[in-house]
Structure 1
Amino acid sequence: MSEMLAPLPLAWQRGNVRIAIYDLDRTLTRQPTFTPFLAFGARRLAPWRLALMPVWVLAMIGYRAGLYSRTALKRFGMKLMTGSPARETLSSLGDRYAQARIENPGLMPHTLRLLEEDRKADARLMIATAAFGFYASGFAERLGFAHLIATEWDGSDIPGGNCYGETKKARVLAWFADQGIDREHATVRFVSDSFADAPLLDWADEPVFVTTSKRETARAEVRGWRVIDPLSVG
């Protein structure tokens, strides 16, 4: 049974330009995307690299212990599990990966209903994500997003660093400037599952936090963010 969409908030209705920005991992997708991509890529580019997956797991543990940055971790993961494929090869692989992940394990049903609400409101739709652009673009195209801000990969490094936290906000603000959009005449909805996106959630006119956790719900509500259960279907 489809859900009747709630009326748009008053501030959302009267903005001259409506912009809806979505995170990708665990906001639109049911699961994170990077580690599964590393396995997907290794299996198709060089299956012997799958034997290196325990090394990647140890690298993630090292990151959580504070030994290096997320940018360094992701750079290491790409080189470890995919080597140095040509740009065209990586782009094709990323597109196939996006299609596979949309099919299984799929997307968040409640978030998709929110996206449909934004589409009906004629909002400009953007994905802003720490995921790599070579596969995030496949999600954006299939889900009807006209704009994408993502982490870049030049074949050996991550120019501009990981698109995360304050860096993601800075890149969104740069996009506003490039597009000639006056923030005072725009109404912005930002949807994310991560407290690392607090800079953008606090900046948005309508911050929407995606979680199934009661503890996270309480934290988000204290900050004045709307909370949705992304798996809700009714």
Structure 2
Amino acid sequence: MALTLFDLDNTLLAGDSDYLWGCFLAQQGIVDSATYERENAQFYRDYHAGSLDITAFLRFSLRPLREHSRSLLETLRQQFVTEQIEPIMLPAARALIAAHQAAGDTLVIITATNAFVTAPIAERFGIAHLIATEPAEINGQYTGEVAGIPAFRDGKVTRLEQWLAANGGDWHDSTFYSDSHNDLPLLERVTRPIAVDPDPQLRVIATARGWQMLSLRGSNNA
């Protein structure tokens, strides 16, 4: 059975759920607005530049999960997904997912964004399998730390290998859709790497290597 992998942010979504969640928390007054938005924006720039310190970023982004109750966080998340995420779920992404489901593929969203934010998004796309950065928790309360390996860069490969071992799958017939040069380790590992609305760095690499490119935002070719 074919394995089809999707990055989430700026691939299936016309935006970045991690960055938008931070903006949403600031707008809701859950975090200090000016300071948090400034740091959030800097981490986002670092990500696009390929210089993100993932440890520092996760310490920053998971802190609000530690500082507030689970019930409040879940209420905020429901509002966030409805107001901020559903409008940027790309129709062409839904069609692409449906085509792979119809073909009988095993579909997985694999994302560096934490599972608290992304689990309901994967559900809305109708994808049962999610590999995401896992926030640590004790007795139902988030600690602000990471459980296991973040699903970022080489960590995506490691986490997927763990998932395949646990689920009896393999790399034999695998496709990965992603927009980001940060996903090169996984793009280089799969059978069919596909650059979706690629960032400038990935576009150069995909062009040089003859990888397929496509757009889910309007045109047939990115």
Structure 2 length-normalised TM: 0.81
Between the aligned partners of 1:43 and 1:197, the Cα distance in structure 2 is 30
1:97–1:135 contact (8 Å) kept in structure 2: no
| Residue 62 to residue 143, structure 1, CA distance change in 2 (3 Å) | closer
Runs of 4+ in 1 over 4 A off after TM superposition: 61-68, 212-216
Choose from 168, 182, 198 the match for 1:196.
182
Q: Which has the larger radius of gyration?
A: 1
Q: Deviations over 1:134-176 (max 9, x none)?
A: 1101111011001000011222112224311110111011111
Deviation per CA, 1:51-73: give whole Å up to 9, x if none: 32354257538957999722212
Distance 1:70 1:215 in 2: 19
Cα displacement (A) at 1:100: 2.4
Cα distance in 2 for partners of 1:135, 1:63 equals 20
CA–CA distance in 1 between the matches of 2:50 and 2:103?
43
Note closer, same or farther for the CA distance 1:107–1:180 as it changes in structure 2 (3 Å cut): same
Describe the superposition over 1:187-213 as per-residue Cα deviations: whole angstroms up to 9, x where unpaired. 211111111211211222221111266
The structure showing larger relative contact order (alpha-carbon pairs under 8 Å, at least 6 residues apart) is 1
Structure 2 gaps of 5+ residues are 137-141
Tell me which amino acid in the other structure corresponds to 2:131.
Answer: I
Report deviation, 1:132. 0.9
Per the alignment, do residues 183 and 73 of structure 1 end up closer, same or farther by CA in structure 2, a change over 3 Å counting? closer
How do 1:132-147 residues align onto structure 2 when only pairs under 5 Å count? Answer: 132-147=114-129
- C-alpha separation between the residues in 2 aligned to 1:220 and 1:125? 23
Q: For the structure 1 residues 23 and 37, does the alpha-carbon distance in structure 2 shift closer, same or farther, using more than 3 Å as the test?
A: same
Preserved contact between residue 181 and residue 201 of structure 2 (Cα < 8 Å) = no
**How far apart are the structure 2 equivalents of 1:217 and 1:66?**
14
Judge which range, 116-125 or 208-217, deviates more: 208-217
The aligned runs of 1:1-234 (5 Å cut-off) are 17-44=1-28, 46-47=29-30, 49-57=32-40, 60=43, 69-79=53-63, 84-104=67-87, 106-154=88-136, 155=142, 156-184=144-172, 187-211=173-197, 216-232=202-218
Greater shift, 141-150 or 112-121, is seen at 112-121
Aligned residues: 213
% of aligned pairs identical? 28
Amino acid at match of 1:71: T
**Equivalent-residue separation in structure 2 for 1:115 and 1:183 (angstroms):** 19
Q: Which segments of 5 or more consecutive residues in structure 1 lack a partner in the other structure?
A: 1-16
Task: Name the one with the larger strand percent.
Answer: 2
Q: Structure 1 residues 189 and 43, CA, compared in 2 at 3 Å: closer, same or farther? A: same
- Give the superposition deviation at 1:226: 1.0
Separation (CA, whole Å) in 2 of partners of 1:219 and 1:175: 28
